[in-house]
Amino acid sequence: MIDPSTVPASGAATAAEAATPPPRLGAGLTFHGPLSEARAGRFVARLAAASPGTFLDIGCGWGELLLRLLAAVPGARGVGIDINGDDLALGRRLAAARGLAERVEYAEESALATTHGPADTVLCLGSGQALCDPEGPYDPAVVLRELRRLVRPGGRVLLGEGFWQRTPTNEELARMWPGAHTGDHLPLDALVDLAIEAGFRPAWTETASQEEWEEFESGYRHATEVWLAAHPDHPLAAETRARVDRQRAAWLGYRQVLGIAYLTLVPVG
Do the domain assignments include residue 244?
no
Do the domain assignments include residue 30?
yes
Domain count, the chain: 1
Do the domain assignments include residue 148?
yes
State the greatest distance between any 2 C-alpha atoms of the chain, in Å, as a whole number: 84
pTM: 0.91
Given a cut of 80, whether residue 170 has pLDDT beyond it is yes
Give Cβ neighbours of residue 138 (< 8 Å, ≥ 6 apart). Answer: 128, 129, 132, 184
What is the rounded average pLDDT for all residues in the chain? 93
Do the domain assignments include residue 17?
no
Neighbours of 48 (CB within 10 A): 17
Range of the domain at 183: 25-164+179-208+258-267
Q: Can you give the pLDDT at residue 2?
A: 38
Do the domain assignments include residue 192?
yes
Do the domain assignments include residue 154?
yes
Residue 131: helix, strand or coil by DSSP? Answer: helix
Do the domain assignments include residue 61?
yes
Task: For 107-118, write each residue's pLDDT tens digit.
Answer: 999 999 999 999
Do the domain assignments include residue 40?
yes
Q: Can you give the pLDDT at residue 11?
A: 45
CATH of the domain at 61: 3.40.50.150
What does the radius of gyration of the chain's CA atoms come to, in whole angstroms? 21
Task: For 46-96, write each residue's pLDDT tens digit.
Answer: 999 999 999 999 999 999 999 999 999 999 999 999 999 999 999 999 999
Neighbours of 88 (CB within 10 A): 21
* High-pLDDT (> 90) share of the chain, %: 87
